[in-house]
Amino acid sequence: NAGVTQTPKFRILKIGQSMTLQCAQDMNHNYMYWYRQDPGMGLKLIYYSVGAGITDKGEVPNGYNVSRSTTEDFPLRLELAAPSQTSVYFCASEGGGELFFGEGSRLTVL
Amino acid sequence: QKEVEQDPGPLSVPEGAIVSLNCTYSNSAFQYFMWYRQYSRKGPELLMYTYSSGNKEDGRFTAQVDKSSKYISLFIRDSQPSDSATYLCAMGKGAGSYQLTFGKGTKLSVIP
């Protein structure tokens, strides 16, 4: 079992560029989440999904978009990257009340 | 006042020490409480999960919840260098982790 897989692990973007962070899970979980983690700031929820075709905003959704066409995949799209989006991004799926996290994607916007 | 307050540390202790990690909260709607452990450059992983006031023990780890004081703690007995990590408290108001609020995390180092 791979669990939750995130790609890429590292990425440097220039201001104004766009990119997609990929997330896939093989546990057949309906609920999936995207968080960002800034130093000393804990985890902030960006978007979440309760199943294929259903997504909703979290605490900090501005500058991001998501889609959920399958149970397995939950990509996060960054449009017009800004330095404020420099962070570590974690994807998670939920099973039995427990969050299972990927290893994170470190994004730097210069 | 923030909903969840957690001292970010860092906290450094000698191997074998008892460690106490704490979070306070202001919202009485929180019904369940979790501790996640996060090793450097890894995703968090669930360590302890409890609904009610009182203590819950799992090996060297004890989670304590005091709803009347709005205070939760994680105790680590006989701490080991492998316990060196950041510990995040998390609290939920209802079903679904989209309702979780995380603390900022406390970075713990256990020195051999």
Q: Which residues of B touch A99 (CB under 8 A)?
A: 36, 44, 46, 97, 100
β partners of residue A90: A35
pLDDT tens string, chain A, 110 residues long: the values are 689 999 999 999 999 999 999 999 999 999 999 999 998 888 999 999 999 999 999 999 999 999 999 999 999 999 899 999 999 999 999 998 889 999 999 999 99
pLDDT, tens only, B37-89: 999 999 999 999 988 888 999 999 999 999 999 999 999 999 999 999 999 99
* Residue/partner pairs of B102-105 with CB below 8 Å, 24 or more apart: B102/A42, B102/A43, B102/B4, B102/B36, B103/A42, B103/B4, B103/B5, B103/B6, B103/B23, B104/A40, B104/A41, B104/A42, B104/B6, B104/B8, B105/A40, B105/A42, B105/B6, B105/B8, B105/B38
Q: Tell me the HSE value of B102 on the side-chain side, using a 13 A CA sphere.
A: 27
Q: Are strands B11-14 and B106-111 parallel, antiparallel or unpaired?
A: parallel
Q: Residue B41's closest chain A neighbor by CA?
A: A103
Q: How far is A86 from B31, CA to CA, in rounded Å?
A: 33
B46 → closest Cβ in A4, A40, A98: A98
| The token pair that represents A79 in the structure block | 């449009």
Q: Residue B34's closest chain A neighbor by CA?
A: A98
Contact (CB<8Å) A58/B98 = yes
Q: Which residues of B touch A56 (CB under 8 A)?
A: 98
The pLDDT value given to residue B93: 86
Does any CB of chain A come closer than 8 Å to the CB of residue B40? no
Q: How far is A87 from B56, CA to CA, in rounded Å?
A: 34
The pLDDT value given to residue B2: 75
Report the Cα B30 to chain-centroid distance in Å: 15
Q: Are B52 and B32 in contact (CB under 8 A)?
A: no
